[in-house]
Amino acid sequence: MSGDPRLARLSLNQATVKRASVAEAVDGCARHGIPAIGLWREPVAEAGLERTRKLVADAGLRVSSLCRGGFLTAADPAGRAAALADNRRAIDEAAELGAACLVLVVGGLPDGDRDLVATRGRMAEVITELADYAAQRRVRLALEPMHPVFCADRGVLSTLAQALDVAEPLAADAVGVVVDALHVWWDPDLDRQVARAGQRIASYQVCDWITPLPADVLLGRGLPGDGHVDFDRLGRLVSAAGYTGDVEVEVFNAEIWAADPDEVLAEMVRRYLTLVLPSLT
Contacts of 260 (CB under 8 A, 6+ apart): none
Which CB atom, from 113 or from 132, has the smaller least distance to its own copies?
Answer: 113
Q: How far is the CB of 239 from its own copies (least distance, A)?
A: 17
Q: Is 84 near its own copies (CB under 8 A)? A: no
Q: Which stretch binds its own copies (CB under 8 A): 36-44, 83-91, 114-122, 250-258?
A: 114-122
CB 39 within 8 A of CB 7: no
Query: Of residues 49, 95, 161, 266, which one binds its own copies by CB under 8 A?
Result: 161
CB count within 10 Å of CB 59 equals 18
Distance of CA 76 to the CA centre of its chain: 27
Q: Is 152 near its own copies (CB under 8 A)? A: yes
Which CB atom, from 84 or from 240, has the smaller least distance to its own copies?
Answer: 240
Give the residue from 92, 43, 96, 37 showing the smallest Cα distance to 69.
92
Binding mask 191-210 toward its own copies (x if CB under 8 A, else -) reads ------------------x-
Q: Is 226 near its own copies (CB under 8 A)? A: no
Query: Of residues 2, 5, 76, 215, which one binds its own copies by CB under 8 A?
Result: 215
Give the C-alpha separation, 276 to 274, whole Å.
6
Query: Of residues 58, 125, 153, 263, which one binds its own copies by CB under 8 A?
Result: 153
E-state strands within 101-226:
102-105, 141-143, 175-180, 201-206, 208-209, 221-222
Segment (H or E) for 65: strand 62-70
Q: Which stretch binds its own copies (CB under 8 A): 59-67, 90-98, 179-187, 252-260?
A: 179-187
